Chain A
Amino acid sequence: GESVGLHLPTLSVQEGDNSIINCAYSNSASDYFIWYKQESGKGPQFIIDIRSNMDKRQGQRVTVLLNKTVKHLSLQIAATQPGDSAVYFCAEFSGGGADGLTFGKGTHLIIQP
C-alpha cells in the first residue's frame, strides 16, 4: 500500500509464540506481493512471496495469506525466535514493466524473552 509519514506500529510477542503481521495494499492491479524483513541499519531481506493467483503460501516457519477481495496480506511467523525481531514490510508489484515496488507502512516486531 501507499506509505505515509507515520511511525511504525509495534507488535510484541513472547518468544515461542506465533505472530501475525497484517498489511493492506491499495492497488487492485497488483499481482505479486513480497514480505521483507529489515533489521536496523540494513537493507530489506526477502522472506516470502505470493502471486495473485494464490491465497496461501508456506515457507519455513512463515506463511503468507492473500485476500484479494479486501486487499489484505498477512505474514504468520510460527514459534518466534529472538532473531525474528525486526521491522517487516509488505511490498506490492503491479507493473507490467520496469517498475519499482510499493512498500507498506511496516510493523516493528519485538520478541520478548
Chain B
Amino acid sequence: GAVVSQHPSWVICKSGTSVKIECRSLDFQATTMFWYRQFPKQSLMLMATSNEGSKATYEQGVEKDKFLINHASLTLSTLTVTSAHPEDSSFYICSASRQGQWETQYFGPGTRLLVL
C-alpha cells in the first residue's frame, strides 16, 4: 500500500510553453501533497504544500504564478510549470501523506523536465 505515481516520468518542451505534471496516490487518500524540486547532484528542496480543496502554500522564493498547483481531489495533485524556461529544467518529485500524518510522506518516482 501507499503507492504514489507521477506522470509523465519525463518531458521535453520548448521554452515558453507550459507543462503539467500529475501526482496520484493510487491506494490511499492523500489530504496533503508536497512538491519538491531537485537539481542535478543536489538535494530535494520543498517548493509547496498542497491541501485538498484549498490553495497551496509556497515556500519562500517559489513563484506561485509560475508553478501552479491544484489539488482538486484526495488522490490527485497537479503542478503546472507555466512559460517554462531552461532554468526550470529539473527533477520534480511529489510526495503524499494521509490526513494528520504529515511526517509520513510517500514519494513518487519523479518527473524529469528538460526545457529547450
Which residues of A does B touch, CB under 8 Å?
A: 3, 5-8, 32, 36, 41-45, 89, 93, 95, 97-106
Name B's interface SS. strand
CB distance A101 to B112 under 8 Å? no
Residues of B within 8 A of A95 (CB): 102-103
User: Does B69 sit at the interface, judged by CB under 8 A?
Assistant: no
The interface on chain B, measured as residues whose beta carbon lies within 8 A of the other chain's beta carbons, has a size of: 28
User: Does B51 sit at the interface, judged by CB under 8 A?
Assistant: yes
10 contacts between A and B (CB under 8 A): A3-B45, A5-B42, A6-B42, A43-B110, A44-B107, A98-B51, A101-B34, A101-B105, A103-B43, A103-B44
A101–B104 alpha-carbon span in the complex (Å): 10
Number of contacts between A and B (CB, 8 Å)? 66
CB distance B108 to A32 under 8 Å? no
Residues of B within 8 A of A97 (CB): 102
Name A's interface SS. loop
Residues of A within 8 A of B51 (CB): 98
CB distance B32 to A98 under 8 Å? yes
Q: How far is the CB of A57 from chain B (nearest CB, A)?
A: 15
Q: Mark B27-43, 1 if CB is under 8 A from A, else 0.
A: 00000101010010111
Residues of A within 8 A of B49 (CB): 98-100
Residue of A nearest to B44 (CB): A103
Q: Among A36, A43, A98, A103, which residue has its beta carbon within 8 angstroms of that of B45?
A: A103
Residue of B nearest to A31 (CB): B103
